[in-house]
Copies of this chain bind each other. A is one copy, B any other.
Amino acid sequence: MFIKPVKKKETSMPEDKTIESKSLDPAVRQMIRKAGEKGITTVWDRYEAMQPQCGYGDTGLCCRHCLQGPCRINPFGDEPKTGICGATADVMVARGLDRAIAAGTAAHSGHAKHLAHTMMKMASGKAPAYSIKDSVKLKSVAGRLGIAIAGRKDMDIAKDVAAAALADFHEKETPVLWAATVVTEGRVKALSRLGAVPKGIDHEVSEIMHRTLYGVDADPVNLLLAGLRCGVADLAGCYMGTDLADILFGTPVPVVSRANMGTLKKDMVNIAVHGHNPVLSEMIVAMADEMKKEARDAGAKGVNIVGICCTGNELMERHAIPSCTHSVSQEMALLTGAVDAIVVDYQCIMPSLVTVAECMGSKVITTMDICKISGAEHVQFAEETAAENAKEAIRSAIDTFKKRKGHPVDIPDIESTVVAGFSAESIVAALAKVDAKDPLKPLVDNIKNGNIRGICLFAGCNNVKVAQDRNFVEIARRMLKENVLVVATGCGAGALMRHGFMDPANVGELCGNTLKAVLTAIGEANGLGGPLPPVIHLGSCVDNSRAVAIVVAVANYLGVDIDKLPVVASAAEAVSEKAVSIGVYAVAAGLPTHVGVMVPVLGSPTVTQVLTEKIKDLTGGYFIVDLDPASSADKLLAAIDERRKGLGI
């Protein structure tokens, strides 16, 4: 049986009002208008065509885990009350959620595994384009892992670190190192009590797939605890991703950059690098300079690299490369007509890009074996030949430029200033300028005295179901006014940077007085002649690990566990299964974690209650699911205040 989609009534709202409901970003709005004029289908059109969306899928009450299905459960108590096998709503929802966590974990850790291979090849002399950019971080990571450092060559240490990383993927008697060594001791104990310390990242993913098979686990709480362990494996994948990228490409230090489509340049070969893993994009950046002459020969003023999504964050935090746009608006970059090629690695890449690129005379270049797109150009990327591969991709973009040269482009004249590049290390360094002996003291003192009411991390994607950036912007605005220190990663960071939240000039307008004073004091101690930006850019979505590093440092400083700290997280516009697994590890770490879109769990009151309430007794963290930004902000603030009360501050 097929649902007959019921067409929505034509709206009587004026066109601009409709566009407002799609994105808060004026550049994006301009391009949505253009897409409408040109009759190019975008994500918002496809979303509209999908209405009404299936309520069973939406609530998690749909199961396709065997060939007796598809099954659905009626949420109103009528038949069908269970799946054909007898799986209840609780089981169905928990199984579905577990598979999402497994997919998110597989993706983050796949990215990290890729970096581990790059490092191993580099250390074995097989990847000449790569080197160790941060020897201090290499040693710090090695030390944390228990790898010998003294008197050893960097390359030998790197080999051991890469080997330890690869070993973390398979089951062993000891826990996953990148999980057990990156949180507080108390957290390791708490998670151990729950059986939630992973033994191997791929092992946990595989085990989730096994236990969610037809006729295996049918106890929702047991399923959720396994999901929690897999979420902790996701933390390991993220943390490993950050560590290895920092060693190979440098640990970020603050840089000034720009964001939004105004960063595209009419007269240059514009290459948007999109995806997640810096293994590719770093090479594109490195080779862009070498390819300048070829670009000039083609009539361009040079090669202009911009980022989309987390690749944008990775390049921005390390090289001040500007970010063009993020997440749900990725097609809009192509609508400018100025992007000569989108070069992608993997994750969050809409297959629709190929169609839009065709319409706009641009192209999509895929580079990874695991991520091809029908209709895209493929340049197979390998570490051994990275420089050549990068040149080939750039050359292809130059070819596109030759064809578009002279044709009109529509680059929205919109960009914002961004101060990015805050790693845990660079934050400690900035704090050290205030108190060289005891760098964390100024931060902790200001938390204690209430100048900083708490810390809120924004992470995750832009979801087409939300007017792009609205949840991020509204909640962050409120947090800052309430003197909450805001940090951000991924497309959450992308949203905030495009709206000026990472421009120090806006501290006065955005921040409450005490927070403003703290940001200014640190900024001035660092010779900036003004404050740090209102929102601290921590990097890409694997870089949520940096937030973990910071809260772990604060927790250890205070001698309490993470679940006692006035720290909250929000994936206000989540899309990817990666956002689900990140959310789970945030909760495992002990954080109240807001999700601003519907997660397919509402079909199970049990699962919903465990995730939003009962888990608090186990990890201290819990989910807050709320689609309204104003009440979401209220709840996050209340959670912060509850924690402050608990600490007696």
Which of B50, B80, B216, B465 has a CB less than 8 Å from the CB of A50? Answer: B80
Q: Are A371 and B53 in contact (CB under 8 A)?
A: no
Which of A56, A84, A374, A578 has the most chain B CB atoms inside 10 A of its CB?
A84
Interface check A540, CB cutoff 8 A? no
Cβ of A432 to closest chain B Cβ, rounded Å: 39
Are the CB atoms of B370 and A216 closer together than 8 Å?
A: yes
By beta carbon, the residue of chain B nearest A218 is B351
Closest to A106 in B: B209
Contact B169 A213 (CB under 8 A): no
A217 touches B463 (CB 8 A): no
Chain B positions within 8 Å of A72 at CB level: 3, 50, 54
- Bound: A597/B370 CA distance, A: 30
User: Which residues of chain B are within 8 angstroms of A66 by Cβ–Cβ distance?
Assistant: 575-577
Cβ of B598 and Cβ of A74 under 8 Å apart? no
A52 on the interface (CB 8 Å rule)? Answer: yes
Whether the pair A202, B46 counts as a contact (CB closer than 8 A) is no
Q: Looking across the interface, which residue of chain B has its beta carbon closest to that of A370?
A: B211
Interface residues of A in 316-372 (CB under 8 A from B): 346-355, 369-372
Contacts of A87 in B (CB 8 A): 351
**With a CB–CB cut-off of 8 A, which chain B residues contact A600?**
64, 67, 70
| A42-70 with Cβ < 8 A to chain B | 43, 46-47, 49-50, 52-58, 62, 64-70
A612 to B563, CA, bound (A): 54
Interface 9-mer from A96-104, A471-479, A511-519, A526-534:
A96-104
Quick one: closest B residue to A91, CB to CB? B351
B interface footprint on A172-215 (CB within 8 Å = 1, 0 otherwise): 00000000000000000000000000001111011111111111
CA–CA, A69 and B68, complex, Å: 23
Flag whether A31 is at the interface (Cβ < 8 A).
Answer: no
Q: A578 near B213 (CB under 8 angstroms)?
A: yes
- Of the candidates B202, B226, B369, the one whose C-beta lies within 8 Å of that of A205 is B202
Which A residues, 89 to 130, have Cβ-Cβ distances below 8 Å to chain B? 90-91, 96, 99-100, 102-107, 109-110, 113
**Complex interface residues of chain A between 396 and 426 (CB less than 8 A to chain B):** none
Is the beta-carbon distance between B211 and A371 smaller than 8 angstroms?
yes
Most B-side CB within 10 Å, residue of A169, A205, A598: A205
Q: Is residue A75 contacting chain B, with contact meaning CB distance below 8 A? A: yes
Given contacts A85-B43, A209-B103, contact A67 B463 (CB under 8 A): yes
Query: Is A646 close to B, CB under 8 A?
Result: no
A1 proximal to B (CB < 8 A): yes
Nearest CB of B to A258, in Å:
25
How many of these chains are in the complex? 2
Whether A71 is near chain B, meaning CB under 8 Å from some CB there, is yes
- With a cutoff of 8 Å between Cβ atoms, the chain B residues found around residue A298 in the complex are none
13 contacts between A and B (CB under 8 A): A1-B6, A5-B79, A50-B80, A53-B70, A62-B62, A67-B597, A85-B351, A109-B206, A170-B200, A205-B206, A215-B348, A216-B349, A218-B349
Most buried by B among A3, A67, A349: A67
Query: With A57-B64, A57-B69, A214-B577 given, is the CB distance from A80 to B371 under 8 Å?
Result: no
Cα distance, A67 to B471, chains bound together (Å): 15
Determine whether the beta carbon of B599 is less than 8 Å from that of A110. no
Question: Does A494 lie at the interface of the complex (its beta carbon under 8 Å from any beta carbon of B)?
Answer: no
Pair B372/A218 contact, Cβ less than 8 Å: yes
- Contact between A350 and B215, CB atoms less than 8 A apart: yes
CB neighbors of B among A6-58 (8 A): 6, 43, 46-47, 49-50, 52-58
A86 at the interface (CB under 8 A from B): yes
Q: How large is the interface on A (under 10, 10 to 19, 20 to 34, 35 or more residues)?
A: 35 or more
Task: Kindly state the separation between the CA atoms of A358 and B87 in the bound complex, as whole angstroms.
Answer: 16
Find out whether the CB atom of A86 lies under 8 angstroms from the CB atom of B46: yes
Beta-carbon contact of B351 and A47 below 8 Å: no
Q: Which of B80, B352, B598 contacts A85 (CB 8 A)?
A: B352
Interface residue A502 (Cβ < 8 Å from any Cβ of B): no
Instruction: Verify if A227 is at the interface (C-beta below 8 Å from B).
Output: no
Q: Please tell me if the beta carbons of A579 and B207 are within 8 angstroms of each other in the complex.
A: no
Is residue A222 contacting chain B, with contact meaning CB distance below 8 A? yes
Q: Contact at A575–B209, with CB atoms within 8 Å?
A: no
Question: Is A135 part of the binding interface, using a Cβ–Cβ cutoff of 8 Å?
Answer: no
A506 at interface, CB cutoff 8 A? no
**Interface assignment of A88: CB less than 8 Å from any CB of chain B:** yes
CB-defined contacts of A170 to chain B, threshold 8 Å: 166, 169-170, 200, 202
What residues of B have a CB within 8 angstroms of the CB of A71 in the complex?
Answer: 50, 53
**A233 to nearest B CB, angstroms?**
10
Q: Which residues of B contact A76 (CB under 8 A)?
A: 2
Q: Tell yes or no: A574 within 8 A of B by CB.
A: yes
A171 at the interface (CB under 8 A from B): yes
Write out the residue numbers on chain B whose beta carbons fall within 8 Å of the beta carbon of A222: 369, 372
What residues of chain B lie closer than 8 Å to A438, measured between beta carbons?
none
Bound complex: CA of A90 vs CA of B374, how far in Å? 10
- Tell me the residues in window 574-622 of chain A with beta carbons closer than 8 Å to chain B beta carbons: 574-580, 597-600
* 7 nearest CB pairs, A to B: A86-B352, A57-B70, A170-B170, A106-B209, A1-B52, A218-B351, A219-B372
Does A250 have its Cβ within 8 Å of any Cβ on chain B? no
Q: Tell me the bound Cα distance from A372 to B83 in angstroms.
A: 17
Q: Which residues of B contact A2 (CB under 8 A)?
A: 54-56, 74-76
CB neighbours (8 Å) of A212 from chain B are: 103
**A272 contacts partner chain B, Cβ-Cβ < 8 Å:** no
A67-B579 contact given A46-B80, A104-B213, CB 8 Å threshold? yes
Known: A1-B53, A55-B2, A206-B109. A577 touches B351 (CB 8 A): no
Contacts of A207 in B (CB 8 A): 106, 110, 370
A456 within 8 A of partner (CB): no
Query: Known contacts A62-B54, A465-B68: does B217 contact A371 (CB below 8 Å)?
Result: yes
Residues in B neighbouring A354, C-beta threshold 8 A = 86
B55 touches A1 (CB 8 A): yes
